[in-house]
Amino acid sequence: MSDPLQSTLHGDAPLSSAKNPDARAAATPGVVEASDTLVGRTVTINRPRHELYEFWRDFRNLPQFMREIHQIEVVDRVTSRWRVSAPAGRTVEWESLVTEERADELIAWESSSGASIRNSGRVEFHDAPAGRGTEVRATIVYDPPAGGAGKMLAKLFQKEPKIQARRDLRRFKQLMETGEISTAAAPDAAPRAD
Amino acid sequence: MRALTWHGRHDVRVDTVPDPKIVNPRDAIIKITSTAICGSDLHLYDHYIPTLKSGDVLGHEFMGEVVEVGPGNPKLKVGERVVVPFVIACGQCYFCQKQQFSACDNSNPAETADMSEVLYGYPMTGAFGYSHLTGGYAGGQAQYARVPYSDVGPIAIPDGVEDEKVLFLSDILPTGWMAAENCDIEPGDTVAVWGCGPVGLFAIQSAFVLGAERVIAIDHYPHRLNLAKFLGAQVVNFDEVNVREALVEMTGGIGPDACIDAVGMESHGFTIDNVADQVKAAVGLGTDRPHALRQVILACRKGGRVSIPGVYGGMADKFPIGALMEKGLSVKSGQTHVQKYLPKLLGMILDGKLDTTFLISHRLPLEEAPHGYKIFKEEQNDVTKVVLKP
């Protein structure tokens, strides 16, 4: 198996569902440390694989459904610059490098050295059973950052990284299937009494 | 605009709130002409459903006139009269395409979907005015409502058909219909229905349309039992008789072929299990009081069918799993796939095959909605359905 993130501990369950971080680290020597946060989430989207891949591959689209990402600037085919809004009106940015891509199948990335949030990940696109569209699986590994800014960002990103990932993927699915992102945000979308 | 808002247990008020706006391209704004209080709104009124916030606009049975349509909805026209399903469904996900609209994967916003994913394993669909578990959408006991995915839900009503004939397409009529459909009725079948509230009454009517030989209705309010009788059901008053014994005797010792629990989580009745459940719910040790459901499962014949349109939200104690398994019962349940049934049921109303007006007991202006909740809760014998006029 070429990609350690694909390896499984026992049976066919994905690595991200492992209960024991030490066993997980042992299964992926040098890739996912026991102290890393590993998030995996799959969503089935009732659209063709090609369409989903193309939308995601144009990284400028991602902030539409990744709420915490303020902007992504595409530098070239490999490099992009990600900018997040941090507390106290600050913004934090880092560079992300595409490490592998296969059209309509896979995009893998890694933050460049020196990134304040060291992260790597991959998003895979598989055909779902006939008539059900595409299974999109995202796997993200966060390194625990060091230092003041790192800790603050960790709070932002690592407090509930699983929740962040599942909300992002739900919004991606909503956008791709319906053309819009569901909202009942008050006051405009759901007027309320004070 | 004016709207009925929730502020706490048994505390609902008509407040002035901001008018709704078009937010997403497929939204529409409806000027509400008729709206109703649902039996399931009483679960909110009694605060049995969690995740309500003070100020939430309630109401999920409403209809009205389209006053604004977003650029992404080519179907609806301003000025059209529509009934709006309580379930919000996108129409494009796997579930909607299978016509399982109340399982829509997209209408519950990403943030609120977390709660039901934890509670139930997967996120619930969005719905109007029914807590933040189902999205926190503002409801329709108001002058206006924002309707998301309005190209999928609302059904146009022909001119000249009065509101009261079609209003209940929004929830209770399809809910009663699906409850009966879930009984997989065969010729000769006896269907027993627990609860003669609006859903139970519509389930009785639907069971006959779907070919039931006989329907037996169970309640303890004489007026509600009379309405069931008017629909052709035999009636059993649980204050007066032992229900299971009566059902066994009335069905030649076999038991009802299919049983419908149209009661849900706040069952009435002074029995040991129900009193214990009330105590547990009061101190937070339990959430749902499933007395009726226990009786349904015990009364149903071997190999019979159980249909549960009554609303449950959490965990039930002392669930008779042994009786369910050993007798080989099948169970069907769920929030109603309203959109699936609308064209057919509207057709049956227009053809005069279904009447939905017989159960309306009270008509009130929206401003008197809090009074409507109070009497619907406290005077259940006489108050069978409250329709509000904004």
Which chain B residues have a beta carbon less than 8 Å from that of A194? 55
- Output the six-digit token pair for A158: 């690592």
pLDDT band at A33 (very low <50, low <70, confident <90, very high): confident
Q: Are B67 and B21 in contact (CB under 8 A)?
A: no
Q: Are B1 and A191 in contact (CB < 8 Å)?
A: yes
Instruction: Compute CA distances A56 → A47, A103, A111, B70, B146, whole Å.
Output: 13, 11, 17, 27, 31
The amino acid at residue B220 is: H
Q: How far is B176 from chain A (nearest CA, A)?
A: 28
CB contact under 8 A, A182 and B135: yes
Q: Which fold has domain B2-171+336-389?
A: Quinone Oxidoreductase; Chain A, domain 1 (3.90.180)
- Cβ contact, residue pair A188, B20, below 8 Å: yes
Determine phi and psi for A7, rounding to 5 degrees: -70, 150
List all residues 6 or more positions away from A10 whose beta carbon is below 8 Å from its beta carbon: none
Query: Looking at residue A145, what is its pLDDT?
Result: 59
Local structure of residue B20 (DSSP, 8 states):
P
Structure confidence at residue A150 (pLDDT): 57
Chain-chain contact of A46 with B92 (C-beta, under 8 angstroms): yes
How far is A169 from chain B, CA to nearest CA, in Å?
A: 9
Residue A1 has what pLDDT? Answer: 38
Q: What angle do CA B336, B341, B347 make, to 5 degrees?
A: 145
Question: What's the pLDDT at B188?
Answer: 97
Asked whether the beta carbons of B384 and B223 are under 8 A apart, the reply is yes
- How many other CB atoms are there within 10 angstroms of residue B47's CB atom? 14
Q: Which of A178, A180, A191 is the closest to B20 by Cβ?
A: A191
Residue A189, chain B, CB below 8 Å: the answer is yes
A130 touching B, CB under 8 A?
A: no
- Closest listed residue to residue B111, CA positions, set A191, A185, A14, A138: A185
**pLDDT per position as a tens digit, A125-158:** 999 998 899 999 999 887 765 555 555 666 665 5
Question: In this structure, what is the dihedral angle of CA atoms B152, B158, B162, B165, given to the nearest 10 degrees?
Answer: -60
Q: Which chain B positions have a beta carbon within 8 Å of A183's beta carbon? A: 23-24, 109
Q: CATH says B173-333 is which class?
A: alpha beta
Extract the tokens encoding B248. 């066994």
Note the maximum CA span of chain B: 61
What one-character-per-residue DSSP string does B33-66 give?
A: EEEEE-HHHHHHHTT-SS---TTEE---EEEEEE
- List, in order of start, the domains of chain A with CATH numbers: 44-178 (3.30.530.20)
Predicted pLDDT of residue B86:
98
Q: How far is B80 from chain A (nearest CA, A)?
A: 22
Enumerate residues 6+ apart whose C-beta is below 8 A from B379.
Answer: none
Query: pLDDT value at position B63?
Result: 98
CA angle at residue A48 from A42 to A51, to 5 degrees? Answer: 95
Say what the pLDDT of residue A2 is.
47
> Tens-digit pLDDT profile for chain B (390 aa)?
999 999 999 999 999 999 999 999 999 999 999 999 999 999 999 998 889 999 999 999 999 999 999 999 999 999 999 999 999 999 999 999 999 999 999 999 999 999 889 889 999 999 999 999 999 999 999 999 999 999 999 999 999 999 999 999 999 999 999 999 999 999 999 999 999 999 999 999 999 999 999 999 999 999 999 999 999 999 999 999 999 999 999 999 999 999 999 998 776 666 666 666 666 666 665 656 678 899 999 999 999 999 999 888 888 888 899 999 999 999 999 999 999 999 999 999 999 999 999 999 999 999 999 999 999 999 999 999 999 999
Q: pLDDT digits over B109-133, tens only?
A: 999 999 889 889 999 999 999 999 9
Residue A159: pLDDT over 60: no
The backbone region for B23, taken as left when phi is positive above 0, alpha when psi lies in -120 to 50, beta otherwise, is: alpha
Q: Is 80 exceeded by the pLDDT of residue A114?
A: no
User: Residue B362: enclosing H or E segment and its boundaries?
Assistant: strand B362-365
Query: Does the CB of A180 have a partner CB in chain B at under 8 Å?
Result: yes
Q: Is A89 on the interface with B (CB under 8 A)?
A: no
Helix (H) or strand (E) holding A175: helix A161-178
What distance in Å separates the CA atoms of residue B20 and residue B170, rounded to the nearest whole number?
A: 20
- Taking only the tens place, the pLDDT of each residue in A163-180 is 888 999 999 999 999 999
Task: Kindly list the domain boundaries of chain B, sorted by start residue.
Answer: 2-171+336-389, 173-333
The rounded distance, in Å, linking the Cα atoms of B292 and B312 is: 12
Q: Which token pair is B348?
A: 């049956």
Among A168, A183, A191, whose Cβ lies nearest the Cβ of B18?
Answer: A191
How far apart are the C-alpha atoms of B177 and B179, rounded to whole Å? 5
User: Which positions in chain A touch B15 (Cβ < 8 Å)?
Assistant: 193
Taking the Cβ of residue A162 and every Cβ of chain B, the question of whether any pair is shorter than 8 Å is answered with no
